[in-house]
Structure formats: C-alpha cells, structure tokens
Amino acid sequence: MVLPEELCDRLSALAETESRTLSNMAKVLIQQGVERLERLQAEAPSVGTDRFRQVLEQQQRDGPRRLRGAPRRLRLHRPTG
C-alpha cells in the first residue's frame, strides 16, 4: 500500500510520539478504525453503507489522485536514554 506523503508524515509523527514503529502505528490505527466501523454497522447497518457509497461517488466525480514522485523510505530515529 502506498500512502500520500502528507498522511505518511502525520503517521510518522504519531508513531514517534507513541514510541512505536511506523508499521505498528498503522496497524493500531487500522484496528481501531475497523472496530469503530464494526460498532457503527452493528448500531445502524445502512449508515455505514450509505456513507461509504457517498465517499466512493465523490471520488469518482473528483477523479483519481496521483502521488508526485516516487515513494520514499522513512527512517525513524528514536531518542536514546
């Protein structure tokens, strides 16, 4: 998966704040998001589906987004001590 650079920067900052690796921070946030969506769907099944459909339709109207430049590797430096 390739993330937009701005989102990757935000994720890196969160990971550093939480003293986690980038991949672990992504995993935690994905798990939380999935759990939240599952709860919402259990409460009102059509709400999640309708919102998902709206987002997809908006993306189709806006057209595809492309990243500028090649993906870059990130190196996180943890403070020692």
pLDDT band at 12 (very low <50, low <70, confident <90, very high): very high
Give the per-residue pLDDT at 37. 86
Q: How many CB atoms lie within 10 A of CB 79?
A: 6
Is residue 27 scored above 90 in pLDDT?
A: yes
For the chain, what is the mean pLDDT? 81
* 69 lies in some domain: no
Taking the model in full, what pTM does it have? Answer: 0.51
76 lies in some domain: no
- Is residue 40 situated within a structural domain? yes
Q: Is the pLDDT of residue 64 over 90?
A: no
81-to-16, 78 alpha-carbon distances in Å: 15, 9
Domain that holds residue 15: 5-62
Query: Is 79 inside a domain boundary?
Result: no
Q: Do residues 80 and 17 touch, judged by C-beta distance below 8 A?
A: no
Does residue 30 carry a pLDDT above 90? Answer: yes
Residue 32 CA: distances (Å) to CA of 25, 26, 29, 73: 11, 10, 5, 25
Structural domain tally of the chain? 1
